[in-house]
Amino acid sequence: MACLDVDVVFKAARAEDGLDVALGGLEEKHQLCASWTAYAWARWLVLFGGEAASLDVGRVRVLADHAVQSGMIRDQLLATWALGLLSVVGPDADPDLARTHLERVTRLAPNSAQILLDLATLIAVPAGDEAYLQELRNRAGDLRVKYPEDAAALDRLMAL
């Protein structure tokens, strides 16, 4: 939240009225920070599991929902990815909803091996869905990898 709290109006509104109200007045130049915060926080919740999620999932969902409504593709991508991650953790985990969100991210970022790896590790493998896992591997084989992190994700996906 530190990058959001740089905006003193946002910080004061968050302290006074809560996150939801403060996001309504967020300057556009800080919107990407909200999207990245939602994504990073959701990723952290996946790593640390249900107990962590029970404390923070509501706030992350507020950030992500706000970012999805921003209209900017990059914000929608990060926020939708965050919503997908949130849907696999906590007391309200819903793998079908997670899959829907994460598949939407593949349409927003068609060359991301990282999202395919998330679909594999968070949806296909836990469900024992070998057919879906193979479909993800096949889709990954068609990617044009540009970034080292995508190459690493592709290697991990193919090793599953």
pLDDT(51) > 80:
no
> What kind and span of H or E run contains 25?
none
Average pLDDT, rounded, for the chain: 89
Among residues 72, 135, 125, which one has the least CA distance to residue 103?
135
If one counts every other C-beta atom within 10 angstroms of the C-beta of residue 58, the result is: 14
| Residue 82 near residue 65 (C-beta atoms within 8 A) | no
Q: Quote the CA–CA distance of 99 and 122 in Å, as a whole number.
A: 9
Length of the chain in residues, anyone? 160
The tens digit of pLDDT for each residue in 10-39 reads: 888 888 988 888 888 888 788 888 889 999
Local confidence band at 52 (pLDDT 50, 70, 90 cut-offs): low
Q: What is the pTM of this model?
A: 0.88
Domain extents for the chain? 110-160
pLDDT(81) > 70:
yes
Q: Quote the CA–CA distance of 159 and 136 in Å, as a whole number.
A: 12
DSSP for 81-122?
A: HHHHHHTTSSTT--HHHHHHHHHHHHHHSTT-HHHHHHHIII
Residue 153 phi, psi (nearest 5):
-65, -40
The tens digit of pLDDT for each residue in 84-133 reads: 999 998 778 899 999 999 999 999 999 999 999 999 999 999 999 999 99
Q: Give residue 25's pLDDT.
A: 82
